[in-house]
Amino acid sequence: MPDTIPDPKLLHDAIIIGGGVIGCAIARRLTLEGWHVVLVEKAPDLLDGASKGNSAILHTGFDAPPGSLEQKCVAEGYAEYLDIHQKLGLPLDRSGALVIAWSEAEEAALPALMDQARENGVDDVIPLTSAQTRKLEPELAQGVKASFRVPREYLIDPWSAPHAYVLQAALNGASVVRDCTVLGGSFDGGQWRLETTKGPVSGRVVINAAGLYGDKVDTLLLGRQDFQIRPRKGQFVVYDKPAATLTRHILLPVPSKVTKGIVVCRTIWGNLLVGPTAEEQESRDMAQLVPETLAALRQRGEEILPALAGHDITTLYAGLRPATEFKDYQIHARDGQNYVTVGGIRSTGLSSALGTARHVHRLCTNMLDRPALPAPDWPEVANLAEAQPRDWQTAGNGGIICHCERVTRRDIENALTGPLAVQSLAGLKRRTRVTMGRCQGNYCVAALARLTKGKLAHPMSEAPDD
Amino acid sequence: MTDARTLQADVIVVGGGPAGLSAATELRRLGVTSVAVLEREPTAGGIPRHCGHYPFGAREFKRVMKGPDYARRLVVAATGAGVSIHTGVTVTSIEPGPCLRLATPNGLTEARAKLVLLATGVRETSRAARLLGGTKPAGVMTTGTLQSMVYLEGLRPFKRPVILGTELVSFSAIMTCRHLGIRPAAMIEPGLRTTARWPSGLFPALLGVPLHLGTELMSINGRDVVGSVTVTDPAGSREIECDGVIVSGRFRPDRAVLHGSHLGTDSATGGPEVDQYGRCSDPAFFAAGNMLRAVETAGWSWNEGRLIARTMTQALEGALPEATTSRITLSGDALAYCVPQRLAASAPAMPLPGVQLRVNRAVKGKLVLRVNAEDQTPKSIDARPERRIILPYPDLPQDAQVEIRLEEST
């Protein structure tokens, strides 16, 4: 069933534009604070823009610029994730990270980076010699000069987490309208009325969490923009599961001014990834995979972990970060207009989302103040992490449909029904892992086309006589 | 499986395709009391289940039939011989014992047997593993996926795809397209000639499908669905409009069951390492069919399963020579792989039909088998990568050092 605007006459407390990790977290926070919100998303499913491709790491923010808004939001978001993840059924892999210097110049930069970490409240970083580093990670290449360990950098599930956030919002009264593009809107001094592809929707406050389209939405609704989105592409190579035995830590390079650099780490699903690149581009919705760049990533991965050579590649992906001409987040409250722009959440959105949402709520309290929900419902989402029990291990699952990721018929049926039922194949993949494994759908796509018949916005296939 | 109790059998076969089913049938025919086949799909039969075209079965059933009929015949033959086939059962790990961990719709269980035969087959290389560029729209799939959609589900995923590759399976992709009125826009091959030497009688099927040799697929374009592909050839770069991409061929053994196991694998084939009796590094495990190497026909795999069933029967009787750990050494960079990778002492068994070799480029020359520093009679070859080379087994003592050397003629 396609989503609809609940009641065009209903005055919501807030309209959140954008169903990425930030919009989902804001929907949850405002709902818990007693607001009645509606979230609109232009894609058929949530997490379809910047949030669909990232490194899946929960950062401490140790390397963020001290005193920046980004650093504050990451620290607060990190703390809240640790606080709530078990209650929501979300996984946490306490991998830790190593920041590795491969040259003398990089080695010289380590003490300042450790000082910066301490200044950011990450006071448990530990300097390691070359020998100590290689003892922790025996598969590392020769040539490590030194490193430091950041024990509390962790791995999480980048799609189950925002899904749990928005699901909690929905279960506690929020509305979610997907496949709904904002076409325009006006503020009459007391309330906003937005025109969308699914009709008008009204609210006291508008929150622009439109990610890669943040500047466009500001221009559309405010007639001005205070920043310009400069999409920055990150390509990744994902290796098959046997490669995940090659490292325990997240292996980080010494960051440059532009990027955190190329990371090698496991994923919560038991793969190993190498990436991202940092490439500026014009397009906000097309992220091209470039074979030469991917080959270079692969080579870089093998330079860091030589045993990676010969491991099979499971998949490739390219994400787009909503970077701007500014280094820091662009979060601006327009008090007179009951409007908050939450823009420029480049690269750390997954880690900061819960903290960013708290920050946004604080900015909004003088626009509207409500008593917090006394006893909100807490949904538990299906676990997809490799290290914790999954549906295929329990009876009555209907059999495994996706063999590589061991996704059961019941997993798929659950994602296709209930609140926030998926509406696209991409959404189904993010919710269940189906087709995400080594065969990339070779064995299961046909069965999946049958199981999803009539349930997706774009059918996977058609009957020949359609 | 109807319940999740421990499964016990004399021999358990993992994979219900041509190799696994023929081995199971033969094991029963040779008097092995209990033989069970574990198949993770809802129906046994393997890849032929979704190859809705000829020719299958000439060797096995003395008549030519389509893949699905052939798959059914294999299942009927196995069940008729007293093989128990368990569908919907996934082997999640293999352990010494032999012990297999299983996932079923009713939960987790395990299986124990005297011997295990691994026959999990092959699959085509995915778009991702080929490092193909561009975006990731829907409508990019292997031939196997296309065939499952068309023949198992009656679905048509696109109307005008391009086909990447010119292997035998690529031809099969054209046949599958024609079945549902799909008209491929082009067939793209990076090489200067087709990979497979297609039987000339089948060429008319290409009519209407332009073949682009010496052409690389640079990128797949489109956000939600495929809109075009960008290709380059010596004349330059251009776009071909299409609504799908069939990524065909480049088969690889499906070796997921070996991940994290105690069995030795061969990086050259991607499959398990075996001796001429099909024995893995743990002699309680055997392997047969395309899991050993990509890729042979269903008929070849069927025959291989049958032959290895015979050596397994001898293993059950304790009649096989002791396993060896010494590997065949391949000398010559044009030699891609050999199967088996190890040679135990000769025995009066019916082993695999000689050492199977492939080259990775067109070569001419002599293949010399060397046993304990003594050259055997060389074999002249004029070989291409898609052609199988068979080198007859020499007589071998236990723990012989065996080398296969390619001497290229200039």
| Domains (range + CATH), chain A | 1-93+157-229+324-378 (3.50.50.60), 94-156+230-322 (3.30.9.10), 391-451 (no CATH)
Nearest to B155 among A290, A438, A463 (CB): A463
Q: With CA atoms as reference, report the closest residue to A461 among B245, B158, B177.
A: B158
- Residue type, position B388, single letter: R
User: Burial level of B248, CB count in 10 A (0-12/13-18/19+)?
Assistant: buried
Say whether pLDDT at A267 is over 70.
yes
> Cis omega (within 30 of 0) on the bond before A464?
no
Name every chain A residue with its beta carbon within 8 A of the beta carbon of B124.
442
Question: A126 forms bridges with which residues in the sheet?
Answer: A149
pLDDT higher for B96 or A457? B96
| pLDDT value at residue A7 | 87
Residues in chain B, pLDDT under 70: 1-4, 198-205, 207, 348-350
Beta bridge partners of B245: B140, B162
Residue A94 · residue A266 · CB < 8 Å: no
In sequence order, what are the beta bridge partners of B405?
A: B331, B368
Q: Report the topology of domain B126-249.
A: FAD/NAD(P)-binding domain (3.50.50)
Please report the DSSP string for B78-124 in residue order: HHHTT-EEEES-EEEEEETTTEEEEEETTEEEEEEEEEEEE---EEE
B105/A442 CB distance under 8 A: no
In tens, the pLDDT along B239-268 reads 999 999 999 999 999 999 999 999 999 999
Beta strands (DSSP E) in A292-399 are 313-323, 330-334, 339-343
- CB atoms under 10 Å from CB of A106, counted, come to 18
Residue B374 structure tokens: 């003594």
Give how far B219 is from chain A: nearest CA, Å.
8
The full set of domain ranges for chain B reads 6-124+250-320, 126-249, 323-410
Find, in chain B, the residue whose alpha carbon is nearest to that of A318. Answer: B135
Q: Say if residues B283 and B277 touch (Cβ distance below 8 Å).
A: no
Cross-chain CB nearest to B256 (options A294, A400, A438): A438
What distance, in Å, lies between the first and last C-alpha atoms of chain A?
Answer: 21
- Is B129 in contact with A394 (Cβ distance < 8 A)? no
- pLDDT score for B2: 43
Q: Tell me which chain A residues have a C-beta less than 8 angstroms from the C-beta of B254.
A: 439
Contacts of A465 (CB under 8 A, 6+ apart): none
Is a pLDDT exceeding 70 seen at residue A380? Answer: yes
Which of A227, A197, A195 is closest to A211 using CA atoms?
A: A227
Does the pLDDT value for residue A27 go beyond 60?
yes
Nearest by CB to A288, from B90, B134, B156: name it. Answer: B134
**Statement: residue A261 has pLDDT above 70:** yes
* B71, B148 contact by CB (below 8 A): no
Using the CB atoms, write b or e for B373-408: b if 16+ within 10 Å: eeebeebebebeeeeebebebbebeeebebbbbbee
B106: nearest CB among A288, A317, A395:
A395
Contact yes or no for A252/A263 (Cβ under 8 A): yes
Cα–Cα distance between B238 and B241 in angstroms, integer? 10
Q: Which residue out of A240, A392, A439 would a mutagenesis test of the B interface target, given it has the greatest number of B Cβ atoms within 10 Å?
A: A439
Q: Which two tokens stand for residue B43?
A: 């129906």
**Same CATH fold assignment for domains B6-124+250-320 and B126-249:** yes
Q: Which two tokens stand for residue B307?
A: 């032959």
Residues with Cβ within 8 Å of A217's Cβ and at least 6 positions away in sequence, in order, are: A17, A18, A182, A208, A210
Q: Are strands B363-371 and B402-408 parallel, antiparallel or unpaired?
A: antiparallel
Which residue on chain A is closest to B147 by alpha carbon?
A446
- Please give the DSSP secondary-structure letter assigned to residue A93: B
Q: Which amino acid is at B372?
A: N
Is the CB of residue B157 less than 8 Å away from at least one CB of chain A? yes
Q: Chain B residue with minimal CA distance to A290?
A: B133
CA nearest neighbour of A343 among A356, A355, A358, A361: A356
For A404, name the nearest residue in chain B, comparing CA atoms only. Answer: B256
Report pLDDT digits (tens) over A322-333: 999 999 999 999
pLDDT, residue A464, reads: 63
**pLDDT digit string, tens, across residues A116-171:** 999 999 999 999 999 999 999 999 999 999 999 999 999 999 999 999 999 999 99
Chain B residues with CB-CB distance to A53 below 8 A: none
Residue identified by tokens 């991702």 is B128
Residue with tokens 């950098």: A153
Would you say residue A466 has pLDDT above 50?
no
Q: Which residues of B touch A316 (CB under 8 A)?
A: 128, 131
Third-level CATH fold of B6-124+250-320: FAD/NAD(P)-binding domain (3.50.50)
Q: Which residues contact A305 (CB under 8 A, 6 or more apart)?
A: A139, A140, A141, A246, A247, A251, A264
A406/B90 CB distance under 8 A: yes
Give the distance from residue A408's alpha carbon to the nearest chain B alpha carbon, in angstroms: 8
Which amino acid type is present at position A236?
F
H helix or E strand, kind and range, residue B280: none
With beta carbons under 8 A apart, name residues in chain A contacting B123: 439, 442-443
Task: Name the 3-class secondary structure at A319.
Answer: strand
Nearest CA in chain A to B143: A442
Number of helical (H) and strand (E) elements in chain B, helices listed first: 7, 26
Q: Is the dihedral of CA B39, B41, B42, B43 positive or negative?
A: negative
Q: What is the pLDDT of residue B350?
A: 63
Name the band, by pLDDT with cuts 50, 70 and 90, for residue A412: very high
From B362, B339, B199, select the one nearest B277 (Cα to Cα): B339
Minimum Cα–Cα distance from B148: chain A residue: A446
Query: Which residue type, as a one-letter code, is found at position B351?
Result: P
Residue B201: the pLDDT is 53
